[in-house]
Chains A and B, each alone.
Chain A
């Protein structure tokens, strides 16, 4: 188990280095362009060249990367081009919002996907076809359209929930929940739709296995078979998709934060992209990859729990 864990952690670190290297070489490929971005479009060409020199942007890409990476190990991600504050400070302010949004969505997804998937597999018939149709619609409707629909319905027409904005939990716990209800719903419906179909398919696959019939032959009631055996066996494929869903959720959060004006990583990255604020983009990519790596390790551990065969 320890070997398994170390191997996953090493693989994760490699992934982090590779992704940051690739992203770095993409965005830092043209030093003068960056210097111009910092100084603004009206700057003098000589000043641009000089600034690039100062910032070390003329060094070979590999050297620049090692400098960046060395600073990273000291917890320094550079300063934003636009407001010149440390990137790390901005991230620390923004991260909790995104984590709250994505974490809550994941929790809601987990609960509803398991319930809907099990129900669909257990009941069959019209319940199943109804839930499956919901699955297709939920899957096919883009997050942002759903978000718009929710805003129109609950915020504009009914006026029962805030349309936009974010209230930190320290300020008002109930306000925090209220400000997250619509964003989480918008983000979760699509995920629930596809995850519940995965659960359903995995449960049905398990129920076709020989050992299910053998369990029934011992007088184990169907309900117990579904809840204990089918669910545990179905959780390995289910968890794998949940890991992938999480990555997709991080992407979805970008749009949702933009629509609901939540001050998270997502809205930060969009604004920074439009302003070409490269240090922020680099910092965000790094942060997200680290989160993804951690989540994948957790998922792998969970799969090892569910599927003893994978514990190597």
Chain B
């Protein structure tokens, strides 16, 4: 999986609507409830005035502060003796209409400027970003109050202003999505294919942005509704028509006399806002926002009957023994996909084993299983991993942590993404050496400096204080190697350690790994897809295909006389063995 070359990015964008989205949404009860509430609100916003049993401004002095369910006034009367239920119904159109205005304005302004900024960049982008920062730096309510002073009470005006104030949300969303899509190679390909900008936007960019825009609309409608009610509540709403916020203010002022009256407008507001927010969240989750599921990086499930058995694998004298290891991932409740299938491996001290295979062969999964770093959903079906005399499968995280770093260590594939960007090189060394070797701060610094010098870093003192972004890829990989060997591990597992590097740097890093391995007589497992790397450094090779080891043996023997057809196929595909392209047709050369 992660053993694939770095260039294989995420194969699909998480946000575009796939078939079945609506079917999955329809199964969620919150979605149903939210939809019913919103449709009710929408219905009343059109027909509320017709259905209201009384005129919203009709007053009956007998009904002043009347309790609910006690008279013709279904939900009671307010402090002027008006029917709360009728007022509530009539106010719906004001509320929903206001939210609609705010949403349309913010989409129209924010999305269009965001689209321009993202697609054309430069001036549009700078201007848009400046405006959006400006607007976001203003406390919205204060702006609305200033507008009230100038323009007087008007729902339409204030909701237009709310739309403008919220527009930066769309601007940012749109700009970021467009920029990420714009950098996709398929947009470049479309430009090279001769498509006009408008065609590219409508065909490639709109598809990706429409889902997030819809999600955000519900959410923004909720916000607009809250702002509107707030304004009305503090007395800056329009006084002629009843509004939910205005009713709230009325009943708040009569709170001690008639405590129930406040319930109805409050419930109307909360339910509608909740419906908007829940709907927006549900759609977001269904479209596969990765943030929808939490949980710590638990250890993978280990279901092996004899995982705690003592090391009867002692019959072989290898330092690391892997027996019948299988790893699977659940696809659904009953199905699972096996990615490592009954793998057997042995590595001796001072030996370099190459684990070779193409993407999806299970080589990286095998390496992670040994390190105990499989993702939580992985299932280790069966098998046994014994390091020295310690069985590794089934160990508690605490005991594993005691071994990691000082017994087994790991060198990753991508140097840049494997250093914590927020800490200096020196700080990244720190933890393991101080805890595992019990060194003081000064001692661990000294040791780190000598290790940096050992991995051929020119100015260790300076690099020690560098942050990862100040390092080149090759330097970062040297730093990672230095940290990996800092607690004198007996076994080093390097997962494609040179794949992300340039060839000239690759050669140097391989020299370094070979040197370290020999002077410390470590065991080294090198996961790679490159037979050249194998030939350069490995004593023995295990060839993996579809989760199984198909052939294993001495490097020279396997490379020169492969027995398994798959090994033969792999070796024959190596481009070094393909004949050189013949020069261009003679007659073309003749023209010279």
Q: Which A residues form the contact surface with B (CB < 8 A)?
A: 15, 18-19, 23, 26-27, 29, 120-125, 128, 136-137, 139-145, 148, 151-152, 156, 200-201, 204-205, 207-222, 224, 226, 229, 232-233, 244, 247-248, 250-252, 254-255, 258-259, 269-270, 273-274, 276, 278, 281, 284-285, 288-289, 292-293, 296, 306-309
Contacts and interface: CB of A to CB of B under 8 A. Distances in A.
B277 A136 contact: yes
A216 B373 contact: yes
A229 B420 contact: yes
Contacts of A226: 296
Contact of A140 (B273, B412, B422): B273
Contact of A124 (B149, B269, B294): B294
Contacts of B412: 210, 213-214
Interface in B396-433: 397-398, 400-406, 408-410, 412, 414, 417-423, 431-432
Given A233-B421, A251-B142, A144 B233 contact: yes
A232 B424 CA distance: 13
Contacts of B484: 218
A219 B270 contact: no
Contact of A214 (B142, B234, B277, B418): B418
A218 B296 contact: no
Given A121-B294, A273-B145, 5 more contacts: A140-B270, A142-B229, A208-B290, A217-B371, A232-B422
A205 B436 CA distance: 28
12 contacts: A123-B294, A142-B270, A143-B230, A144-B230, A148-B262, A152-B259, A210-B414, A211-B421, A218-B409, A244-B136, A251-B142, A254-B139
A219 to B, nearest CB: 4
Contacts of A255: 141, 230, 233-234
Interface in B427-443: 431-432, 435-436
A46 to B, nearest CB: 25
Contact of B139 (A148, A211, A248): A248
A220 B436 CA distance: 10
A210 B418 contact: yes
A270 B297 CA distance: 50
Contact of A273 (B236, B371, B467): B236
B146 interface: yes
Contacts of B404: 216-219
B142 A19 contact: no
Contact of B432 (A19, A152, A219, A285): A219
A220 B433 CA distance: 11
Interface residues of B, number: 78
A122 B296 contact: yes
B561 interface: no
Contact of B252 (A148, A247, A292): A148
A156 B270 CA distance: 22
B238 to A, nearest CB: 14
B150 A247 contact: no
Contact of A233 (B134, B420, B487): B420
Contact of A205 (B236, B291, B296): B291
Given A145-B266, A224-B431, A136 B467 contact: no
Interface of B: 133-134, 136-142, 145-150, 222, 226, 229-230, 233-236, 248, 252, 255-256, 259, 262, 266, 269-270, 273-274, 276-278, 281, 290-291, 293-297, 371, 373, 397-398, 400-406, 408-410, 412, 414, 417-423, 431-432, 435-436, 467, 469, 480, 483-484, 487
A292 B414 contact: no
A221 B229 contact: no
Contact of A210 (B148, B277, B406, B417): B417
A171 to B, nearest CB: 27
Contact of A142 (B133, B226, B432): B226
Contact of B150 (A26, A122, A141): A26
A18 B484 CA distance: 54
B480 A293 contact: no
Contacts of A23: 146
A15 B134 contact: yes
B138 A220 contact: no
Interface centre among A142, A148, A233, A255 (most CB of B within 10 A): A142
Nearest to A132: B294
Given A211-B417, A220-B431, A27 B150 contact: yes
Contact of B134 (A18, A125, A220, A254): A18
A197 B582 CA distance: 62
A137 B222 CA distance: 12
Contacts of B236: 270, 273-274
B296 A307 contact: no
Contacts of B423: 229, 232
Contacts of A270: 145, 234-236
Interface centre among B262, B270, B419, B431 (most CB of A within 10 A): B431
Given A128-B294, A205-B291, A270-B234, A221 B414 contact: no
A123 B277 contact: no
Contacts of B252: 148, 259
A212 B436 CA distance: 19
Contacts of B281: 136
A216 B146 CA distance: 54
B509 to A, nearest CB: 16
Nearest to A306: B422
Contacts of A214: 410, 412, 418-419, 480
Interface centre among A226, A247, A248, A273 (most CB of B within 10 A): A273
A250 B423 CA distance: 34
A253 to B, nearest CB: 9
A208 B417 CA distance: 11
A195 B176 CA distance: 21
Across chains A and B, which 10 residue pairs bring their CB atoms closest together, nearest first? A124-B295, A219-B404, A251-B141, A217-B410, A219-B405, A308-B467, A128-B294, A250-B139, A251-B139, A219-B401
Nearest to B429: A218
Given A140-B222, A285-B146, A289-B138, A128 B230 contact: no
A284 B480 contact: no
B142 A218 contact: no
A229 B412 CA distance: 18
B296 A254 contact: no
Nearest to A220: B431
